[in-house]
Amino acid sequence: MALKDTTLLFIVGRGRSGTSLLQTILNTHPQISVAPESQFIMFLRRRYQNTDWSESKIEKFSRELWLEERMENWHLKPEDLKQELLKHNENADFATLCKEVYYQYGLSKQKEHLKVVGDKNPHYALYLKHLINLYPNARFVHIVRDPRDTILSYKAVNFDAHHTSTLANRWNIYNKAILKFSRNMPEKFHFLRFEDLLANPEETLTKLCGFLGVEYDPEMLNFYKKELDWEAGFRKNLKNPLDPKKAFRWKQDMSQPNIQYASAITRKMAIAFGYEMPGVKHAGLRRLLTIPHFLYARWVTFLEKLIYKLPLSITAPLIAFYRKLTTTK
């Protein structure tokens, strides 16, 4: 299929919610390509969204694309990609050129009949307004995981926050941002729970494939047998079949005080997503006591959004430094 006939997909949700797992499963489908995580759209949007395109401007775009260091992990050849971008000549626009980058990644994986190309990026939950403006026909998959398990997962890595109350508020912020748009344009969003993917994978993936306009392929459940992209390599759970026992680990691994605080903060939204949330003793007091963590979570999110309003010459090194600092590059 030609670029114009492909559907653009964005997988969004709070990090550590199964976004990488879903990406890996979808990449097993012969007509779907979800590229490794990168934020080149937000890197370049302010500079190029409203530009007047010319051959020299496309060449500059193709060079500055690589200021997003994670693009190196796509293993595309810069000169070959530039030549594909130049084919758009005076008909170029920012949205089309970005989509072409995803398309070329899919072709590099020997997928000649692509119907869906896209991106897995939890941070894009904060930029849905921009993405929808760029791609009014795009499809968004919102994956959610029990907030208590998400918190435990973050505590096992060396990036983001590590305090239960801060992480609970961060879970709220990201999922609220997605709900804000999905409720107003439900036809563009597909919601699924991490736990349902583990417990009922065939049913869950069949519905998702229907949303994306492709046939369900049973081979998707053999994702763990495939060669993984760079980003998935360090995630051991992607090298094993789906296991329902990996859901709701918080029941065994989270302390009661942390359960109480996490539940007090996320209870309303978690119930809306179908999670069981027992009553919390002194819930109002617990939320009051964690106001500093609420404010800190808001502040961190503000900085995440602010950084893409800075000049590209500042944004690129700042993000590279942060990734190096947290070993997340």
Q: What is the pLDDT of residue 152?
A: 95
> Which pLDDT does position 329 carry in this prediction?
40
Q: What is the pLDDT of residue 236?
A: 64
Domains of the chain: 3-325 (3.40.50.300)
pLDDT the model gives residue 327: 55
Residues of the chain with pLDDT under 70: 1, 228-236, 325-329
Per DSSP, the three-state class of 9 is strand
List pLDDT tens digits, range 161-204.
889 999 999 999 999 999 999 999 999 999 999 999 999 999 99
Q: What pLDDT, on a 0 to 100 scale, did the predictor assign at position 229?
A: 58
Q: Name the burial class of residue 249, with classes exposed (0-12), middle (13-18) and buried (19+) by CB atoms within 10 angstroms of its CB.
A: middle
Q: How confident is the model at residue 279, as a pLDDT?
A: 84
pLDDT of amino acid 136:
96
Q: Please report, to the nearest 10 degrees, the dihedral formed by the alpha carbons of residues 258, 263, 264, 270 taken in order.
A: 150
- Taking the alpha carbons of 72, 121, 254, 324 in that order, is the dihedral positive or negative? positive
At a CB cut-off of 8 Å and minimum separation 6, what does 98 contact?
A: 40, 41, 44, 134
Handedness of CA 182, 185, 186, 189 (dihedral sign): negative
